[in-house]
Amino acid sequence: MKKIMVLMGLILLMAFPALAQESWQPVTDPVKIFSEGYIQVIGSSEEGQSRYRAIRAATVVAQRDLLEILQGITLYGTTTVKDGMLQSDAIKTTVYGVLKGAVKCGEKYYPERGYAEVCMRLYLRGHGGLYDVILPLLKEERLLPPPKPTYTPKLVPKVMPQKPQAPAAPAPQQKPQVLTPSQNQNPYDGVIVDVRSFTFRPALVNRILSQKGEVIFDPSKIVSSVLVERGCGGFTNDEAKAMALLKTWGAKNPLKVKATGVVKLTDVKVSPDAAALIFANNEKTQFLNQARVVFLLK
């Protein structure tokens, strides 16, 4: 019995590296990158090398592939990270800096042929991730698209009954507010934006706009620590997963809205009613500050 247990242990030890290697899966598709929250590549060296040289060469290949994938990520609209690097030395320095935070998720040397494979991962979110490194640029609005006016809705009169009132002296101008039943009953504390009817691209900067192009949601409205952990929200093609993701972020009653259009692939437009609902409920629960936003993709 003891011999059998030892034999089984040896078999598992021999099999483990292969199983670990087989579990490596590249994550290079833009939608998957933003859904999973990281880029993952597997670099391979040439054959006929010592273990040290092979692993070092495979690491260099993986780093090169990471840079190539990272440069292809969309900043906003049709502007990629590579475009940003060409336009700004600050972005270029930031991108090369974030590559230093890439981590190995495994390595394997094949002595019979003298080559190695190295799995490397670059996180978008979390400490040391892409959002963490580019946060100063986002807050300084050096990574944001051209500014648009901020959305400020008009009063929604149908919520409250209209009663004749005597003329009163003009009151000081105040910020218009939207009053909805949800404020008094069970306010929405997150939002799922359904963009399945349109061609939409996850990006480092995704915005929600009104029909007139006014900004309802963008990175400037997100608390810095939350932006590092969640970016501009989540992305999935499954409504149940969207609900589950928002639940992990503390949302118990998310609002579901359908996009009415997409601008330059990364900005989503919503109807006037949806815009008013988002604004009014955010005034109550501050879910936009917490990036409790999930884009539902086709």
pLDDT tens digit sequence for 70-102: 999 999 999 999 998 898 888 888 888 888 889
Kindly state the average pLDDT of the residues 264-285. Answer: 96
Nearest to 79 by CA among 152, 172, 142, 10: 142
Confidence of residue 268 (pLDDT cuts 50, 70, 90): very high
pLDDT tens digit sequence for 277-295: 999 999 999 999 999 999 9
Average pLDDT value for the chain: 85
Confidence of residue 22 (pLDDT cuts 50, 70, 90): low
Whether the full predicted model's pTM is greater than 0.85, yes or no, is: no
Higher pLDDT, 194 or 30: 194
Domain boundaries, the chain: 24-139, 178-296
With 80 as the cut, is the pLDDT of residue 212 above it? Answer: yes
Nearby residues of 113 by Cβ (< 8 Å), 6 or more positions away: 47, 48
For residue 258, what is the enclosing H or E element? strand 255-263
Confidence of residue 17 (pLDDT cuts 50, 70, 90): very low
pLDDT of 40: 97
pLDDT of 170: 52
pLDDT of 155: 58
pLDDT of 87: 86
Of all residues in the chain, the percent with pLDDT exceeding 70 is 81
Give yes or no for a contact between 141 and 73, defined as CB atoms under 8 angstroms apart: no
pLDDT of 164: 46
Q: Strand 293-296 vs strand 191-194: parallel, antiparallel, or unpaired?
A: parallel
Confidence of residue 214 (pLDDT cuts 50, 70, 90): very high
Q: Strand 255-263 vs strand 191-194: parallel, antiparallel, or unpaired?
A: parallel
CA distance 123 to 121: 6
